[in-house]
Structure 1
């Protein structure tokens, strides 16, 4: 399953360092544009927001993107002897031992144990469960050593080839590993209660045919979790109400600062903002708002708008099959010719962040010292002159050997893109580059069938614009969208996101090392080198890191209300769309966003 991540404001939801006060009940009302789809393995943002109140993962990340143990008692690493290699030759395998907290209970009072972790893995392994198990497919087994210890055993090379000869044909004698081993079950949004789910799908979830029973079960509407809140009511189409658990939460960074959280379903943003200004809600969540609302939000009396760099980065992908775009001078000239600050001001009202790298600045892997291109039309013109593209005396479009410097420029008709593309066109015309805009439905653009003429897998574009949605691990993202093995072709079933056909042997070597590296320090160094290569080769040009937009009342932020409304901590108001914050389940893979 590929997640749209839940943001920080519900990942760290209103946790404080002290227990709840019994004297002054505190309530927060949040406006959501969409009703949550479900609590078990939610597929929508709204679903993830509410599920994060109820469930916990094994390992989360704090607001500085640092892993910290949640249901795990400590994070496995080679340094603490919880990660080791066992066996010899092609029978060698990676073994990860994870101690678990012994003081955590489910909301029905049952104790959390290793049985719950094993059961969750078995559930994920059922093909009918719908989980994306790219990481978990590398596991031979997940075993309970005792109630407070679980062991993750990865496949040896021999076992991997026997299981999937095609996937592991080039494995050699090296053991199968994954750099995200320390999450335990990386693709699990949460750990689920064995004692509850076995009543629904039985004791063998890996082979159960009763997976569909979840949707109609009591668990779907009345979930049992280890998180700080329990669902106390769900009025379909109207509201969901959560009540804080009156127990210690050792797995969380603090105790809930709110007694009650109410989510009102308000599809019309105008209704949400009216309710906000009237004090009926204290926060409007990000699924209602975007940067285009800034002119209104910034002038509403009594409203504080927040714009935080998200993880969707708008970019241009260059088709390197084009002899013209295969010239790095031309790609670099296009980069120098674009004023991304002006794009931000005009299209995003200055609320986005200019993306200086293919890795967002909030990522652990971001290299702030890597060189990046800034707006410099003089340098752009020099590069094009050097490449032999001459310009008529009176300006106009450049040409070389009778060929105009002209490109097909594709994107989807998302609300902000027509204006953004028009501005890109005008800016590039200033340096003598012509782009011809064509709007393509996202269903066609991202179709993996070569029978669709405008599908990216056919590589018939020159320049295409869309957004990649970054995950926690940019190395894994880059394997999908910048590795030569991920160039869509008939040989690989037109899978992969390297639509521009980028090839660089050193880049491929680094990405392979990143996928097999277990040392975080080494992986950071490798990611920094990779960013330098990408900035030099420029197979894709980052434009803007789109903002996550929320709005709240000053009264809620200051906590000065005498009506029981709680102050909202900074972590709540930030509403970051960072892939990992606090207990938020990691964004599993890099995604396209139409």
Structure 2
């Protein structure tokens, strides 16, 4: 087997999708009660970069293939995962052909066909629209329906890692019949479709109340007649992480609560009640502070926080960005907010191990207030009578925003104190997670609009290959009014050399060469101080002791195998 075949075939796993408990009968376990303290604002992941939307929508709309708990690719709507060995990938690596499982139906009873897959690509790449997952389709030239059950994806050049488009819960298939009038600028206007997509997953939406509650019921046309075990799912949104954890671990009111970003000592106390457990999966999540490289001044109107509005008056000086990074003590942040579920990092790619850089660890992982102050002194940023540095009329006084969460607010407070020691002042702002991650193009408070100087949150990538993730910082991925404020490049970074390397990565075959390029791209983002990585986070969630069949993963939707969950008899 040659190295290319090893690379492609080695990521593919054959799974048996059996749960830990036998499924006696579809719907026999009643209602599953789920709590997301970050409420869901849409069921269309193409219009949101939020993890909460990713997880909720993944119960309804599915990709051709997904990633299991080990990060391996496995077939969902496809018969098998295409490889060089089975002929699904062309020898020149320019095409991948997917065979769809026969007899698949949408939840409305209509046939699922290759035309729906083609349409999904057209939807995300339509002119005048904004697609939050556009990086998944980077390098895709055409998508063709060879016949009703065969889809051929052709790339603009050899694609050594072709498991991007239509793979993972960030790239699901949407129904052409439902979304055909929702292309481009019309996408956000299709409320009924966005709130209640017709899908192929184990559940379908019965009622959706944005930023509140979603009621799911069994999809009667789901391909496995014995699944799911639960007849319905009630997903309640809102509140905070601590109350969500308590509702599962102490009171037993809920069966599952996602994203327990709660102080370690608080969780330890809750676990003593004996009603639930915490499952933590490590993948690629990094809590980071994004630096706005454009000017967020409200006076700029529609050009605010866009490349057209010009560079940030202070962050255009790399010395300022580096000083902010040097002044942070990551170990204290980990100890205070994450415990064993976190590790200090200076990388935006924290795993898998083959892709992890250590180049900047020596200087970056150690707080150095003296070096940060000297850097600003040498760059001409002088302290005024109020202790805040300024230069040419520009003060180092910033708005620092994040979502509402006790751990994040504690981190903000720690960082504010650290930056005060180098003459930098920050105003702290927290925004409801349902709004911050909601993706509403009309809202001024979304993380995509970035109407602030600095913002903090966690992000990650599907699967174990970071190629599409690295494409997110290419120049054309920056959110703007032209894209309906969709896009993944929140700092508005634009470096032709970065784009060149990201394009090279998409064409590189050998695993060791791909790893070297990922490290270079990671280091470029770190050394250009596009953002400040803080914590490599595990993904802790709370589960009732009565729920079995869960296989936690950090490489895809946490509910990737919800069809196999059941209640202990």
The TM-score bracket by the shorter chain reads 0.5 to 0.7
Structure 2 vs 1, CA of residues 273 and 144 (structure 1 numbering), >3 Å: closer, same or farther? same
SS at structure 1 position matched to 2:548? coil
Which position in structure 2 is the counterpart of 1:315? 289
Q: Distance in 1 between matches of 2:371 and 2:129?
A: 56
| 1:81-92 equivalence runs, <5 A | 81-84=87-90
| 1:102-117 equivalence runs, <5 A | 102=102, 104=104, 106=106, 112-117=112-117
Q: CA deviation at 1:336?
A: 5.1
Which position in structure 1 is the counterpart of 2:516? 525
Q: CA deviation at 1:475?
A: 4.6
Which position in structure 2 is the counterpart of 1:70? 76
Which position in structure 2 is the counterpart of 1:298? 269
Aligned-residue Cα RMSD (Å) equals 6.0
SS at structure 2 position matched to 1:16? coil
Which position in structure 2 is the counterpart of 1:283? 256
Asked whether the 8 Å contact 2:388–2:396 carries over to 1, the reply is no
Per mean C-alpha deviation after superposition, the further-off stretch among 289-298 and 59-68 is 289-298
2:425 equivalent to 1:436: yes
Q: CA deviation at 1:521?
A: 5.4
Q: CA deviation at 1:342?
A: 0.9
Structure 2 vs 1, CA of residues 339 and 148 (structure 1 numbering), >3 Å: closer, same or farther? same
Q: CA deviation at 1:82?
A: 3.8
Q: Distance in 2 between matches of 1:36 and 1:485?
A: 26
Structure 2 vs 1, CA of residues 208 and 37 (structure 1 numbering), >3 Å: closer, same or farther? closer
Structure 1 counterpart of 2:217, from 222, 242, 247: 242
Deviations 1:55-97 (A, max 9, x none): 32112112222322322234445665544499xxxxxx94432
Asked whether the 8 Å contact 1:407–1:436 carries over to 2, the reply is yes
Which position in structure 2 is the counterpart of 1:151? 152
Which position in structure 2 is the counterpart of 1:32? 35
Q: Distance in 2 between matches of 1:222 and 1:458?
A: 28
Deviations 1:488-541 (A, max 9, x none): 999x99999485878684x45422312444666543331023334555565543
Q: Distance in 1 between matches of 2:214 and 2:452?
A: 47
Asked whether the 8 Å contact 1:311–1:579 carries over to 2, the reply is no
Gaps of 5+ in 1: 1-11, 87-92, 155-174, 391-395, 557-565, 585-594
Q: CA deviation at 1:466?
A: 2.9
Structure 2 vs 1, CA of residues 337 and 518 (structure 1 numbering), >3 Å: closer, same or farther? same
Tell me the TM-score normalized by structure 2. Answer: 0.63
SS at structure 1 position matched to 2:163? helix
Q: Distance in 1 between matches of 2:31 and 2:17?
A: 10
Q: Distance in 2 between matches of 1:209 and 1:324?
A: 32
Which position in structure 2 is the counterpart of 1:59? 65
Structure 2 vs 1, CA of residues 139 and 429 (structure 1 numbering), >3 Å: closer, same or farther? closer
Asked whether the 8 Å contact 1:14–1:257 carries over to 2, the reply is no
Structure 2 vs 1, CA of residues 78 and 582 (structure 1 numbering), >3 Å: closer, same or farther? farther
SS at structure 2 position matched to 1:191? coil
Structure 2 vs 1, CA of residues 517 and 240 (structure 1 numbering), >3 Å: closer, same or farther? same
Structure 2 counterpart of 1:344, from 329, 334, 340: 334
Deviations 1:425-479 (A, max 9, x none): 434566xx221223479899xx9xxxx9xx9999996xx4533633446555545
Q: Distance in 2 between matches of 1:500 and 1:376?
A: 27
Tell me the TM-score normalized by structure 1. Answer: 0.61
Q: Distance in 2 between matches of 1:111 and 1:191?
A: 13
Which position in structure 1 is the counterpart of 2:24? 21
Which position in structure 1 is the counterpart of 2:501? 510
| 1:387-536 equivalence runs, <5 A | 407-412=396-401, 414-415=403-404, 419-427=410-418, 433-439=422-428, 464-467=454-457, 469-472=459-462, 474-481=466-473, 497=489, 499=491, 505=497, 507-517=498-508, 522-535=513-526
Q: Distance in 1 between matches of 2:324 and 2:187?
A: 51
Which position in structure 2 is the counterpart of 1:162? none
2:329 equivalent to 1:358: no
Structure 2 vs 1, CA of residues 458 and 332 (structure 1 numbering), >3 Å: closer, same or farther? closer
Structure 2 vs 1, CA of residues 13 and 364 (structure 1 numbering), >3 Å: closer, same or farther? farther
Structure 2 vs 1, CA of residues 457 and 365 (structure 1 numbering), >3 Å: closer, same or farther? farther
SS at structure 2 position matched to 1:412? strand
Which position in structure 1 is the counterpart of 2:10? none
SS at structure 1 position matched to 2:514? helix
Q: Distance in 1 between matches of 2:315 and 2:153?
A: 50
Deviations 1:148-201 (A, max 9, x none): 3222245xxxxxxxxxxxxxxxxxxxx46777643444697433456xx3xx67
Q: Distance in 2 between matches of 1:500 and 1:107?
A: 39
Which position in structure 2 is the counterpart of 1:260? 231
SS at structure 1 position matched to 2:424? strand
